[in-house]
Amino acid sequence: MRIVGVLLAAGRGERFGGDKLLAPLGESTIGATSCRNLLAALDDVIAIVRPGDARLITALRETGVRVIECATSSAGMGASLACGVRASADADGWIVALADMPWIEVATIAKVAEAIERGASVAAPFHDAMRGHPVGFGKNCASELAALEGDDGAKSVVAAHRDAIVRIDVSDPGILRDIDTPNDLV
């Protein structure tokens, strides 16, 4: 079964002050760390970026992922996700991760992927009763994901499959922790 990790890395990082995914995090960068975590759990990962974002493209390619420049990324997260799903349409499922969430544990990503492999339509990790990331989607969600537009990401797809979500309880607070501003790094 082919489960593809889709790293959404096409945002502008405006609240951060720009180039958020290239900001240092330990011995790496925010974007590369998120990418490596996804790669540690999945064999096939693609990163979706803005066209012409040369520095980020180089940094992410150095991790070993396939980078896709999404011409419609300026329309929002939904458009970027649709681009990633269309680029991997032959997959059996997708694990959708946000590049500004570098603290998600590899084991958590693997658990979400395992739920999709077992036939879940939608699978998501929960920590302290709160749903986090990454979210997994089965092949039956492909057409809905590929048709996404705008900035709502996959919220509409998750809502449409609300009763079928496989809940994965984890002790991983990283599923809830993203980076919006430089203060989020402390």
Write down the pLDDT at residue 6.
Answer: 98
Angle ∠(33,64,94) on CA atoms, nearest 5: 75
Q: What angle do CA 140, 143, 147 make, to 5 degrees?
A: 145
Cβ contact 174:107 at 8 Å: no
pTM strictly above 0.85: yes
pLDDT, position 41 = 98
Query: For every one of its 186 residues, what pLDDT tens digit does the chain have, with 9 covering 90 and above?
Result: 999 999 999 998 888 988 999 999 999 999 999 999 999 999 999 999 999 999 999 999 999 999 999 999 999 999 999 999 999 999 999 999 999 999 999 999 999 999 999 999 999 999 999 999 999 999 999 999 999 998 888 999 999 999 999 999 999 999 999 999 999 987
Residue 42 parent element (H or E): none
Res 152: pLDDT: 81
What is the CATH classification number for the domain harbouring 162? 3.90.550.10
pLDDT of residue 17: 84
Judge whether 29 and 59 are in contact, CB under 8 Å: yes
pLDDT confidence of residue 151: 84
Residue 169 confidence (pLDDT): 98
pLDDT at 15: 87
Q: How far apart are CA 46 and CA 155, in angstroms?
A: 21
Range of the domain at 172: 3-185
What pLDDT was estimated at residue 150? 84
Count of the separate structural domains present in the chain = 1
